[in-house]
Structure 1
Amino acid sequence: MEEQGVLNVDENLKRFTPSFNYADDITIDHLLTHTSGIPNITQIPNFRELMKHSTTLENTINLFLSLEPEFKSGTRFKYTNSGYILLAYIIEQTTGLSYGDFCGIWCYILTF
């Protein structure tokens, strides 16, 4: 998507999550490199119970975007599933496709 000029990895999250307090400080690159400071969704209390229920991607990201970052973005590395969930949300917001449809289309394109 960056090669096509749709996204820039240095772009902050404000465009995609305007109500997130730290959106100005975190970039797509931070999500890709696990340097965002966003807490890992699996560490949220009652995570296993919450995931037993159907929900939307937006509701899921709100679970961790409402938390304080664990560290200032770009200063440390810490693996987090939350970054990948947020990247899926960004893909959906940017393309208008579900993440599954987007992956299916790109898998099809890459086979030719």
Structure 2
Amino acid sequence: MEKTTYVKTLEPLLLRSEGKSEDFHILPSGTALYKYHDFPEGHTTYIAYINIKGEFKSKTVVSDKINLVYPIWADTIQPEQLSKLIATTPISKDDLVDILKARKMTRDDLAQIVREWKD
């Protein structure tokens, strides 16, 4: 039996759908991602397994395309996005620390963000 290989995120990632809300949605640090496919355009598709407990509102869509996959996109969080992220998105202290470390931001950088924060 072959051992499973995956990557574990060390920082939160921003999730977005094409043409959808500009609100931030976060994939938390520590999420296991399973590599699926590398594209020549420079991006990689990963699979994240999600357990859903209970019923949820949905609809079944039948595509006229064979093997259609409609992915969401994930990006690293950039320093200039941090102020809006903090103001509009529930984010844990640990995830915030991981973002700051990943972007090599200092306490002074964070203090500047807080000073510029608009309520």
State the TM bucket, normalised to the shorter chain.
under 0.3
> Which of the pair is proportionally richer in helix?
1
TM-score scaled by structure 1?
0.26
- Greater Rg by CA: 2
> Which of the pair is proportionally richer in strand?
2
